[in-house]
């Protein structure tokens, strides 16, 4: 028995999703490119991207859901317009990527997809399914392109020609067939444009359609758990969680449709562009109070303060110095080492004495090595 694709799509729209596509459950068209990306170590420390069992799942969706026949994909707009450009670009503030201005999208989309799967079950009886929102071993942007939901840009983002790229993706794997399936969208509509490639502050695109995550600000501020490369720190600017540069400069963003999801509206300025001095002074309780409902919560306090130390160093203002000096004795070695770097960026050689006062007593080997590298810059 086949399912009506039109009815399923309409139900998805009724549940609040903005784009819907239905395809057969087949390997992604970019599978070989993914293997080359892994082989080149461009996934950085994201070990889950290269795990053998995850690679197998991306090759054969039947491993994820035995008997899988179809994939229903959805898109949900998230971009909100309201925060001023002056606020976003204020160097005394830490900038946060637009996708995390509101509540955690996983918490919003996953229940809706489960509800959609439940509706399908009520329509045709027994249905086996798996729901994912940015969590499964699935190359979802490639699958969405095959479902006609957009094209892959040179910045590796999925871009819809009538709404840009500011939308989340989610999918349901199903063991049922649909009566019709969508046709692939165009492979690319970028033409000769290279704005995203040239605008990237860290030069994270070694070539069009290839992202080296090891240089990407989003990876560095979110996924990367350790010390950030000294050479990249000045290039991060005031980003403290994610980055929107390669999306913001894309000409297709002129078609962006503001999200109608009130839950994605900025909770307050701390979710858009918090004062760096507030972030530097933030303890674990404050971090939880401010960000418990946000995607930001996943990186915890230490990584957020690490990022703020870098942004403060790039800001270069003396107002950050007392906070950075206090953080030299923070409980987190990650914070201690990056606070030292921020101090040197602001005070130069005058920071040597402050850093030397904690260097000898530093017990964490990674932090000590990072402190030594920071001190070497003063030699």
Measured CA angle at 89 (ends 88, 94), to 5 deg: 70
List all residues 6 or more positions away from 292 whose beta carbon is below 8 Å from its beta carbon: none
For the record, the structure tokens of 206 come out as 């070694």
Q: What is the largest CA-CA distance in the chain?
A: 75
Nearest by Cα to 305 from 287, 325, 321, 288: 287
CA distance 171 to 75: 9
| CA separation for the pair 175, 90 (Å, rounded) | 50
Token pair 């999200």 is found at: 259
- Residue position matching structure tokens 């160093």: 313
Residue 202's closest CA among 112, 310, 48, 128? 310
Helices (H), the chain: 5-14, 31-39, 52-59, 85-88, 105-124, 140-146, 195-199, 217-218, 245-248, 276-280, 284-291, 300-315, 321-327, 333-347, 352-359, 365-376
Token pair in block for residue 353: 């004495």
Catalytic residue (one of 6, 60, 104, 134): 134
Give the contacts of 296 (CB within 8 A, at least 6 positions apart): 96, 100, 241, 271, 304
What totals of helices (H) and strands (E) does the chain contain, helices first? 16, 10
Q: If DSSP codes are grouped into helix, strand and coil, which group holds residue 332?
A: coil
Q: Is 134 a catalytic residue?
A: yes
- Catalytic residue list: 134
């Amino acid at each position: 028995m086949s399912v009506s694709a039109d009815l399923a799509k309409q139900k998805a729209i009724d549940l609040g999703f903005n784009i819907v596509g239905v395809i057969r459950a087949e390997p992604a068209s970019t599978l070989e490119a993914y293997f080359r990306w892994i082989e080149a170590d461009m996934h950085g420390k994201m070990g889950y991207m290269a795990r053998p069992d995850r690679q197998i799942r991306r090759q054969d969706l039947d491993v994820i859901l035995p008997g899988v026949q179809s994939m229903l994909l959805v898109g949900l707009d998230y971009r909100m317009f309201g925060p001023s450009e002056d606020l976003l670009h204020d160097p005394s503030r830490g900038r946060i990527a637009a996708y995390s201005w509101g509540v955690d999208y996983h918490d919003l989309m996953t229940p809706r997809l489960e509800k959609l799967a439940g509706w399908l079950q009520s329509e045709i009886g027994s249905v086996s399914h798996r729901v994912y929102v940015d969590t499964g071993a699935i190359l979802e942007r490639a699958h969405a392109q095959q479902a006609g939901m957009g094209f892959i840009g040179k910045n590796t983002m999925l871009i819809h020609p009538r709404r840009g790229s500011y939308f989340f993706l989610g999918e349901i794997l199903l063991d049922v067939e649909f009566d019709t399936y969508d046709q692939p969208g165009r492979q690319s509509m970028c033409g000769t444009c290279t704005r995203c490639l040239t605008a990237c502050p860290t030069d994270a695109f070694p070539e069009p359609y290839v992202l080296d995550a090891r240089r990407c600000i989003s990876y560095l501020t979110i996924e990367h758990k350790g010390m950030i490369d000294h050479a990249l720190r000045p290039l991060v600017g005031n980003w403290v969680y994610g980055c929107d540069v390669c999306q913001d400069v894309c000409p297709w963003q002129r078609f962006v449709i503001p999200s109608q999801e009130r839950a994605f509206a900025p909770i307050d300025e701390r979710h858009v562009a918090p004062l760096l001095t507030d972030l530097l002074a933030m303890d674990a309780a404050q971090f939880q109070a401010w960000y418990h409902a946000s995607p930001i919560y996943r990186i915890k306090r230490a990584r957020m303060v690490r990022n703020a130390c870098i942004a403060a160093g790039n800001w270069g203002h003396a107002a950050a110095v007392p906070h950075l000096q206090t953080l030299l004795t923070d409980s987190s070695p990650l914070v201690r080492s990056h606070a030292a770097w921020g101090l040197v960026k602001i005070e130069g050689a005058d920071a040597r004495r402050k850093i030397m006062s904690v260097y000898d007593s530093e017990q964490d080997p990674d932090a000590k090595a990072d402190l030594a590298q920071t001190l070497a810059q003063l030699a």
